[in-house]
Structure 1
Amino acid sequence: MSSSETTTAPASTTTKHDGTVRLDHVVHRYGRGSANVTAVGPVDLTVPVGEFLVLVGPSGCGKSTLLRLIAGFERPTHGAVRVSGAEPRPGTAAGVVFQTPRLFPWRTVGGNIDLALRYAGVDRAHRPERRARLLARVGLEGTEKRRTWEISGGQQQRVAIARALAAENPLLLLDEPFAALDALTRERLQEDVRRVAAQTGRTTVFVTHSADEAVFLGSRIVVLTKGPGTVALDLPIDLPRGDVDAEELRESREFAELRARVSHEVKAAAAHGHRPGEPTDASMQGIEERTSQS
């Protein structure tokens, strides 16, 4: 399995994994020479244990870049990223759910889960029980023998979520996993993810364009400016996170007010982008030159 497809792996036995995330003055750049562009940063951010952080902002603001840095798929140009106190490694730092399910079509639903369990170090004898629990957690009981093309797009994303949960990593990363789904399926999966996060207590970082989705899911929302992405708003969300009626929550006055505020901030971030006092590409180039000379 390639690193881009691996969503789970055995946890380290020498490091205590608690799922905390820390970004210290993180800057990430792409390209070289005149084509060198700052995609994100500087960003300073700490995500404590059990928090559901939603990153929201306009296209090109660096949301997915930050998620890849946290997952260990890329390393920052400047600054440091730490997950559970250590530099993240692909496949071990977190369970990851992408925009598309990335399931293996030659395997059944259960076979996809079993592969993740094998990479998580679960012995063969215990896999059926673990597989059944994972499928039940995402509402897919009895589907283990079905082929991936025999289930809907929403069900495929549920399989992807179950696969990401297989290793029981304390950190879950989701990169716009519902963007391609219809509105009804999207709302149902939002409710599922919210419930799973509450049940497992995992630290979660979720990327979205949607203010509505951000407010429904997050216990905290960070709005990023347009590229290079920096923090425009860091907002705690004080909405019930236990056993609540999803429709009642979405129709509440508090939800509407928060959604309106986040939507306003996203539009403002898209319109104004870089804020006064933040380094531009030119100033970042100067920082790099001074660093290389020191």
Structure 2
Amino acid sequence: MTSSDVSAPPEEAGTGQAEAVRLDRVVHRYGLGGESFTAVGPVDLTVPAGEFLVLVGASGCGKSTLLRLVAGFERPTRGSVRVHGAEPRPGAGAGVVFQTPRLFPWRTVRGNIDLALRYAGVERARRPERRRELLDRVGLAGVEGRRVWEISGGQRQRVAIARALAAENPLLLLDEPFAALDALTRERLQEDVRQVAARTGRTTVFVTHSAEEAVFLGSRIIVLTRSPGTVALDLPVPLPRAGVGAEDLRNSAEFAELRARVSHAVKAAAA
């Protein structure tokens, strides 16, 4: 793999398109009175449509708080959050994948996907075809009849990703979804998510504490300071998003240089 192979600018799905997410002077506090503390802010951030944005930083820097604000699970104490120009509402504009898969253990893989399709308003007649498409996309063809407790942790997380994709929302939010997985499964799912994002063109916001994961996945990386979280580094990632194998990308000099830069920024921001 040559330097020119890696450093060629990727196609930017968001170029020239409307912004998907906008945060204006966002501050978020928890608690009341003397027990309160500021978790995030102030943060100004714009995410163009089609971008794969990674929020990275040490534990407690406010990464997950920002994701919850974008998802509409919480409202900012000050400032405004807009998703496609409107105030975010839970479940109404984004698919969300958490660190722990939130599946129904008494249902099969098929049942979990079909429930998500039903909530997404997909007609009953179309659900089998749509389910097959989703399971193929996340590499789970052939396991739809198994119960959740009969599949591995990595497969459960794939089901969670498929559920998040079911509604065909233009925004996908992932909160450290691979943190509890073994290294091999984590790398495989990183590649899956990277490919899904490239194929669908969805705007993606991904939370991690890993500099390597951030560089591998992101087309742009935001490093947050220690609490209260503010933007310490806003870094475009000029690596190809398609057409290069995962190992070739990870072993390239450009990848190593970016990983070192992000790692250094995370450590400095946490000091």
TM-score bucket of the superposed structures, by smaller chain: over 0.9
Shift of 1:143: 1.0
- Per-residue CA distance 1:84-114 (angstroms, 9 max, x = gap): 0000000112000000011100100010000
| Preserved CA contact (<8 Å) 2:26 2:43 | yes
Instruction: Give matches, 1:123-202, under 5 Å.
Output: 123-202=123-202
- Percent identity (aligned): 83
Question: Which is greater in Rg?
Answer: 1
| Preserved CA contact (<8 Å) 1:19 1:170 | no
- Per-residue CA distance 1:225-273 (angstroms, 9 max, x = gap): 00000000000000011121000000000000000000000000010xx
Shift of 1:19: 7.1
Q: Aligned partner of 2:205: which letter?
A: V
| Preserved CA contact (<8 Å) 2:96 2:173 | yes
User: What's 1:11 paired with?
Assistant: none
**SS of the counterpart of 1:106?**
coil
Instruction: Give matches, 1:1-294, under 5 Å.
Output: 20-271=20-271
Shift of 1:122: 0.4
- Per-residue CA distance 1:8-52 (angstroms, 9 max, x = gap): xxxxxxxxxx77000000000000100110000000000000000
Aligned length: 254
Shift of 1:166: 0.1
**SS of the counterpart of 1:20?**
strand
RMSD: 0.7
Q: Aligned partner of 2:109: which letter?
A: V
Could you tell me how far apart the structure 2 residues matched to 1:255 and 1:263 are?
A: 12
Could you tell me how far apart the structure 1 residues matched to 2:253 and 2:242 are?
A: 18
| Preserved CA contact (<8 Å) 2:25 2:80 | yes
Higher RCO, Cα 8 Å, sep 6+: 2
**SS of the counterpart of 2:26?**
strand
- Per-residue CA distance 1:139-169 (angstroms, 9 max, x = gap): 0001111111111000000000000000000
| TM, length-normalised to structure 2 | 0.93
| TM, length-normalised to structure 1 | 0.86
**SS of the counterpart of 2:22?**
strand
Q: Which runs of 4+ in 1 moved over 2 A?
A: none
- Per-residue CA distance 1:115-142 (angstroms, 9 max, x = gap): 0000000011110000000000000001
| Preserved CA contact (<8 Å) 2:21 2:70 | yes
Q: Aligned partner of 2:266: which letter?
A: V
| Preserved CA contact (<8 Å) 1:116 1:167 | yes
User: What's 1:281 paired with?
Assistant: none
| Preserved CA contact (<8 Å) 1:56 1:266 | yes
Structure 2 spans left out of the alignment, 5+ residues? 1-17
